[in-house]
Structure 1
C-alpha cells in the first residue's frame, strides 16, 4: 500500500515525459521492475521520475495532488459523456413515442412502467389529473399544477446531469496556480541551497529548479484538458436542457389536448372525432 502514491506518480510522470517513456509503462507494472526503475531514477535526477523522487516533500505533495486531479478529470469526463449519450437517446425515443400517441390516455401502457425523464413527466401529469378530477372548471388548475411539477422534474434532471462539471471547472482554474505554488516553493529551496553552498554554479542548483518547474508542467497537464472537457460538457448539457424543455412542453400540450377533448365529450355527450395527428419533429 505504501507504494501506491509512487505508482500514481510514475504513471503521471511517464505521460509528461513523452511517448518514449510511455512505452516502458507495461514493464513498470512488474513490482521488481518498478523498484529497479525507482532505484535508477534516484541516480538520474534529470528524468521526470527522478526529479519527482528528488523533490522536496511539499513539491511531491503538490505533484501527487495534481496527478490525482488530472485522473479525476478524465474519469468524470468519460463517465458524463457516456451518461449524456445514453440519456439523450432515451429522451429522444420517449419523445417520439409520446408524440406518435398524441394522448396521455394510452400513455400508461407505455410510460408508467419505464424509467426516464419523459416517463416521470407523464406520470406526474396523469397523477395530477386523477387527483383533481374531471370537472371543466378544474382544467386551468390541472394544467398549471401539472406544468409546475413538470418544470421541477426538468430542473432536477438538468441538475443531476450537471453534477461533476464543477470539478472540471475547479481543476481548470486552480491547477496552474497549485503547480505554480510548488514551483515557487522549489525555487525558494534552490536559492536557499545557493546561500548555504556559497556558490553560484548552475549545475548545483539546476536540478532543484527543474524539479520546481515540473510541478507547473503537471499543473498545466491537469488544467488544459479540464478546461477543454468543461466546455464540451457545458455545450452538451445545454443541448440536453433544450431537449428536456421540448419534452416538458410536449407533455403539457398533450395534457391540455386531452382535457379539451374530455370537456367536449362531456358537453356534447359524444366522443368528438379527432383529426389524424401530424408527427412533429422530435427534440434534438
Structure 2
C-alpha cells in the first residue's frame, strides 16, 4: 500500500514538473530568458495581427463609403471641403492631395490647367500620398517578417543550451536514468516549441497582411489614376 502511494506521489510530481509552468520554473536562467523573450514576441505578434485586422476593416469600409460619395455626382469642391481638406483615411488623403494641388494651380493667374506641368504636379502629389499612406498601413509589419524566420532559431538556441545544461547535470550526478534525463530534455525542447508557436502565426500573418497591403495599394493607385484623369478632363474643358 505504501509502495502504491509512493509511486502515485512520484507520478504527480513528475506530471507537475512536465507542465508548461513546471518546465519554465525548472529551466536554466538562459533558457528562461529565451522563453520570456519568445512569449513577449508572441504577444506582440498577436497584438499586431489584431490591430491590422481592425485597421483593414476600417480603411476598406471608409474607402467604400468615400467612393460612393465621390461617384454620386456631387461637387468635387464640396467633397474636398468636407473630406479632402482634413482627410481622416487614406483614400480621402489621396483625393485631398490631388484636389489641393489642382486648386492651388487654378488660383495662379494665367496658368493653363491643361498643360503638362499641372498634370505632373497632380500625379506627383498622388504618388507621394499613396506611398505615405501605404507606409502608415504597413507599419510594424516588418516585425512579423523578422519574427517569422528568427523565432525558431532563438528557440533552438534555448534547446541547445538546455540540453548542454542537462548533460552537465547528468555528468555531475553520474546517473543516466530516464527519470533524470527526461525533465532536462523536456525543458530544453519546450523552448523550441515556444519558438514555433511564435513563428508560425507571425509567418502566416505577414503573408496575409502583405497581400492585403498590396491590394489596398492597388485600390489607392487606381483611384488616384481615375481622379487624375477626371481633373485632366476638367482642365481641358476650362481651357
TM-score norm. by structure 2 comes to 0.85
Structure 2: distance between partners of 1:101 and 1:257: 15
In structure 1, the residue matched to 2:9 is: none
Match of 2:201 in 1: 225
Higher relative contact order (CA 8 A, sep 6+): 2
Task: Answer whether contact 1:169 1:230 (CA < 8 A) is retained.
Answer: yes
1:97 equivalenced with 2:69 (yes/no): yes
Give the length in aligned residue pairs. Answer: 224
Q: Which residue of structure 2 aligns with residue 107 of structure 1?
A: 79
Q: Offset of 1:102 from its aligned partner?
A: 7.4
After TM superposition, list the pairs within 5 Å mapping 1:198-237 onto structure 2.
198-237=174-213
2:145 is matched with 169
Could you say if the C-alpha distance between residues 224 and 122 of structure 1 is closer, same or farther in structure 2, counting changes exceeding 3 Å?
Answer: closer
Q: Which residue of 1 aligns with 2:155?
A: 179
**Residue 152 in structure 1 maps to residue 125 in structure 2:** no
2:56 alignment partner in structure 1: 84
The match for 2:43 among 48, 60, 71 is 71
Gaps of 5+ in 2: 1-11
Mapped partners of 2:113, 2:25: distance in 1: 77
Please tell me whether residue 118 in structure 1 is matched to residue 91 in structure 2.
Answer: yes
Which of the residues 10, 32, 54 maps onto 2:26? Answer: 54
Q: Write the distance in 2 (CA, Å) between the matches of 1:148 and 1:255.
A: 14
- Measure, in 2, the Cα distance between the counterparts of 1:110 and 1:257: 23
Counterpart CA distance in 2 for 1:177 and 1:190 is 20
Gaps of at least 5 residues in structure 1 are: 1-39, 264-284
Provide the aligned C-alpha RMSD in A: 2.2
Shift, 1:95, TM fit: 2.3
Kept after mapping to 1: 8 A contact 2:42/2:198: yes
Alpha carbons of 1:89 and 1:166: their partners in 2 closer, same or farther (altered >3 Å)?
same
- What's 1:22 paired with? none
Q: In structure 1, how many angstroms separate the alpha carbons of the residues matched to 2:80 and 2:203?
A: 43
| Residue of structure 1 aligned with 2:116, choices 129, 135, 140 | 140
| Residues 54/131 of structure 1: CA separation in 2 closer, same or farther (3 Å cut) | same
- Cα deviation code 1:150-191 (max 9, x no counterpart): 100000011111111111111111111111001000100111
Q: Which moved more, 1:86-95 or 1:150-159?
A: 86-95
Asked if 2 retains the 8 angstrom alpha-carbon contact of 1:41 and 1:53, the reply is: no
Distance 2:146 2:164 in 1: 27
Give the Cα separation in 1 of the matches to 2:15 and 2:112.
86
In 2, Cα distance between the equivalents of 1:123 and 1:152? 12
Residue 18 of structure 2: SS of its match in structure 1?
coil
CA 1:250/1:213 → structure 2, altered by over 3 Å: closer, same or farther?
A: same
